Amino acid sequence: MSNLPEPVRRTVDWWFRDRSTGKLVVGQFPNWPLWLWLAAVAVDVVFHPAGTLGTVLTVVRTGALVIWAVMEIGWGVNPWRRLLGTIVLVWQVAGVLGRLG
């Protein structure tokens, strides 16, 4: 990254550098809410459940992503992760509101 122009390097550092370790972080190994979301998506894709089980999976998927998003907003290691959490939270809230309306 040392060959980048200084303003570009500073911008990349600000958005993507972990404030505690100094490492560049775009993505990380999934934490438990993402594992739960992935499991619920996999069950939904494989079995296509209807009725109560389908509703439960939708609630689990949505809830897991909301928890993940709130965790990223509050404890994300850099502005990129916090922005990603914000985008996912807005997406999930819009989806819930769309289903209610």
Q: How far apart are CA 95 and CA 34, in angstroms?
A: 18
Look at residue 48 in the predicted model and tell me its pLDDT: 96
Residues of the chain with pLDDT under 70: 1
Look at residue 83 in the predicted model and tell me its pLDDT: 98
69: left (phi over 0), alpha (psi -120 to 50) or beta: alpha
Average pLDDT, the chain: 95
Look at residue 45 in the predicted model and tell me its pLDDT: 96
